[in-house]
Every structure is written in C-alpha cells, then in structure tokens.
Amino acid sequence: MPIAAFNEKHKEVLDGMLLVIPGVKAGKMFGLPGYYADGKLFACVWEDGVSLKLPEKVRMDLLKQRGVEPFVPMEGRPMKEWVLIRKKNSKDYLKYEDAFISAVEYVLSLPKKSPKKSPRKRA
C-alpha cells in the first residue's frame, strides 16, 4: 500500500499539543505520523485530516459535527473505533483537545494484547 500524503502543519500542531502529555510518544502508522500512549496508537495524521481512536459515546458525538467522519483508510474497510477529523486550518485541531485526551484515556483503559503465538510447524 503506498504511503498517503499528510499535512505537515497538522503534525506540528499535534506535536505541540500531544507530546507534552506524560507517556505520549510519537511514532508511525502506515508510514504516517502517529501518537501512542503505553505503546497503543490513539491518533494519526492522515491525508488532510487526523484520525482518533475513541470510546463510543465520544465518537458518536463527534460524528454529528461537520468535518468528522468514520475513518476508512482502505476502501470498504472502516476502522471500527476511529473517526477522521478534517480541518483546513491546522490550529483548529486545538479545539478538539478534549477528544484527544479522551483518545489517550481510552487506549490506556484497553487491556494489553498478548503477543501472537507462532503457529507450530508439523513434522
């Protein structure tokens, strides 16, 4: 899958807002800027927007707003707990600080996934 383009100014604004939160680290998702809490992805800069992993109530409330839609990184494959917020002005993401905090808290509340076991080869 080719790496999608992203808005560098969105990343700059998110870096300033998110990387001051204890435990939040920058990383990558699909080769794009992502943000992690305790190793769990909660946000990603995607094309002309920003995606967030959120609890259902926050997600449903956000989806009622203009410029917010389900996150579908590949056609026909929506990511169930994610939304995509599209704003032209990067500083507009600062208005969503509560949603970003909810995303951090949400992923921190999820149980850690146990490592996948390798299938055993049969002799």
Average pLDDT, the chain: 89
Look-up of token digits 């870096």: 15
Predicted pLDDT of residue 30:
79
- Residue 15: which pLDDT band, with cuts at 50, 70 and 90? very high
Question: Residue 67 has which token pair?
Answer: 């410029």
- Return the pLDDT at 29: 83
CA distance 77 to 97: 27
pLDDT value of position 74: 79
Give residues with Cβ within 8 angstroms of 17, minimum separation 6. 93, 94, 97, 100
| Greater model confidence, 78 or 89 | 89
The mean pLDDT value for 77-105 works out to 94
Q: Can you give the pLDDT at residue 117? A: 66
CATH topology for 8-108 is Aspartate Aminotransferase, domain 1 (3.90.1150)
pLDDT of residue 4: 65
Structural domain spans, the chain: 8-108
Which of 37, 40, 65, 41 is CA-nearest to residue 52?
A: 41
Cα 121 from chain centroid (whole Å) = 36
Rounded to whole angstroms, the Cα distance separating 118 from 19 reads: 35
47 phi-psi bin (left φ>0, alpha ψ -120 to 50, beta other): left
Q: What is the pLDDT of residues 30-62, one digit of tens each?
A: 788 999 999 999 999 998 899 999 999 999 999
